[in-house]
Amino acid sequence: EVQLLESGGGLVQPGGSLRLSCAASGFTFSSYAMSWVRQAPGKGLEWVSGIKSGGRTYYADSVRGRFTISRDNSKNALFLQMNSLRAEDTAAYYCVNQLGNCDSTSCPYYFDSWGQGTLVAVSS
C-alpha cells in the first residue's frame, strides 16, 4: 500500500522559510515523479511543484524562484524548501505521486496517491 506522510508545516512570519518533507513507502519511490499540490482554506487545488524520477524539476509561476523541490531516492523522501513566504502561501500542502506517460515534449501525468497534507500558515 502506498503511503505518503508529510511533515514540516507550521506557522511562519511573512518573508520566512519552511522545509516540508514527505516520507514515501509502499512503492519504488525512485521510479516515480512526485509533486506538491496545495489547497488554501476553502479554495481549490493548486499544483505547486514537481520532480521527475530523473531529477528534472517544474514549478508553478506563483512559486518559481522562491520554492525548491528536491528528492532523496536513497531515503524515499521528497522535500519542498519554501523561502520568502507570503500570506497567499497559506494552505494545506499535499505530497502526491504521479503516474502515466511522459516524454520529452509532453508530460500528462495524473496525480495518483495523496498524503493527508501538512498545514502551512503564513502570518505575522
Partner 1 sequence: SYVLTQPPSVSVAPGKTATVTCGGNNIGGKSVHWYQQKPGQAPVVVIYYDSDRPSGIPERFSGSNSGNTATLTISRVEAGDEADYYCQVWDSNTDQWLFGGGTKLTVL
Q: What is the DSSP letter of 87?
A: G
104 binds partner 1 (CB under 8 A): no
**Among residues 31, 41, 74, 110, which is the contact residue for partner 1, using CB under 8 A?**
110
Residue (28 or 116) nearer to partner 1, CB:
116
* Cα–Cα distance for residue pair 112/96, rounded to 1 Å: 7
* Cα–Cα distance for residue pair 33/96, rounded to 1 Å: 9
108 binds partner 1 (CB under 8 A): yes
* Cα–Cα distance for residue pair 1/25, rounded to 1 Å: 8
Interface with partner 1 in residues 43-102 (CB under 8 A)? 44-47, 50, 58-61, 94, 99-100
CB 50 within 8 A of CB 87: no
Residue entry with cell 512559486: 63
Residue 17 C-beta: closest distance to partner 1, Å:
23
Residue (29 or 109) nearer to partner 1, CB:
109
**Among residues 12, 115, 118, 120, which is the contact residue for partner 1, using CB under 8 A?**
115
